[in-house]
Amino acid sequence: MVGKENKKSSGNGEDKELNDRMTRENLGGKEAGGQADEESVDKAGSEEEAKKKEEEMIRQLQEEIDKLTTKDIILQMMTSLSSLAYKKMGIPSGVNDKFKDKVQAKMAVDAFAALLEVTKDELSGQENENYQNSLSNLQLNFVKVF
């Protein structure tokens, strides 16, 4: 015992090594639990970060939506109606044949024409000409197809 006490007091590290090893073995489960706790905290932090990013993206999208004018929305609708009209006319042939529907195509072309009439005073000369040409093409294709 006296020799062992001397080892401790002499600071040669033998008992310290044993003590450290025992501590590591005893804490092995606790360390694993600690890692699991850290992972839970990290996961919660990641989820919180993801939620903050999502909220920021929603806020930015809302700001963009708030900047839209009625004209912007109508022009987007006209673009959608033009695409739909061609699809309902079965154009291009062989691709959209199964969607061909005269009533639906006519409604899309007429709605495009009505929206163009509503927006004509808000459009620049070039925009007006482009949309008028689009309407003419829709009408010509409608007559050709049906």
Q: What is the pLDDT of residue 121?
A: 95
What is the number of structural domains in the chain? Answer: 2
> pTM for the complete prediction?
0.61
Q: Which residue has the higher pLDDT, 43 or 16?
A: 43
Considering the domain architecture, whether residues 54 and 74 belong to the same structural domain is answered as: no
Considering the domain architecture, whether residues 109 and 40 belong to the same structural domain is answered as: no
Query: Is the Cβ–Cβ distance between 108 and 84 less than 8 Å?
Result: yes
Selection from 29-33, 60-64, 103-107 with the highest mean pLDDT: 103-107
The predicted-structure confidence for 25-42, as pLDDT tens digits, reads as follows 555 544 444 555 566 666
Exposed e or buried b for every residue in 13-23, given b needs 16+ CB within 10 A? eeeeeeeeeee
Considering the domain architecture, whether residues 60 and 16 belong to the same structural domain is answered as: yes
Considering the domain architecture, whether residues 129 and 79 belong to the same structural domain is answered as: yes
Give the domain range for residue 18. 2-65
The predicted-structure confidence for 82-100, as pLDDT tens digits, reads as follows 999 999 999 999 999 999 9
Considering the domain architecture, whether residues 59 and 108 belong to the same structural domain is answered as: no
Q: Which of 47, 65, 83 is the last residue of a domain?
A: 65
